[in-house]
Amino acid sequence: MLWFLLGGWFLALTWLFGAVVMAISVIGLPWARACFEIAKLSLAPFGREVISHAELSGGDPLPVGIFRLLANLLWLPFGLVLTLSHLMHGCMMFVTIIGIPLALQDFKLAGISLFPVGKRVVLKEVAEAARAANAAAAIAARRQ
């Protein structure tokens, strides 16, 4: 609740506005999806985790991975500014004891702001289950 009152709602609205602006053109759709994912995380960051779509779905074809890499490289100038702003805000939140958990969430947002295309925001349990399934599949593939 404290996160929401101290600006989480504003962050979420800002990212939703960015998603709408990006969705206006067909070219901006990958960034619109990424902005929507960041808005979800900005609204309720506790108990959620950022995971790559490839890790969540068990892998992506090579052309999709190349497209995501190019989209993230094009996003990089904007991402650097957003990442720095989240890092600065997180450092300011660390000044008080009550702000430390909020600062950690700001650092999580900084991480997704840098390379957002191809990332998904899921519950921590879903991320753990996806990683466990991928690990089991990797172990089974090595045993064969």
Phi, psi values for residue 111, rounded to 5°: -65, -40
Q: What one-letter code names the amino acid at 57? A: S
pLDDT digits (tens, 9 = 90+) for 57-103: 877 777 778 888 888 898 888 888 888 888 888 888 888 888 888 88
Domain range list for the chain = 2-130
pTM over 0.75: no
Q: Is residue 123 within a helix (H) or strand (E), and if so which, with residue range?
A: strand 119-123
- Contacts with 2 (C-beta within 8 Å, 6 or more apart), sequence order: 98, 102
pLDDT for 74 equals: 87
- How many Å apart are CA 23 and CA 2, to the nearest integer? 31
The DSSP 8-state label assigned to residue 104 in this structure reads H
Q: Around 32, how many Cα atoms within 13 Å sit in the side-chain half-sphere?
A: 11
Closest residue by Cα to residue 37 from 65, 11, 60, 6: 11
**Residues making up the chain, counted from first to last:** 144
pLDDT tens digits, residue range 2-54?
676 666 777 788 888 888 888 887 788 888 888 888 888 888 888 888 888 88
Under 8 Å between Cβ of 53 and 119: yes
- For residue 39, give the nearest of 65, 60, 21 by alpha carbon: 21
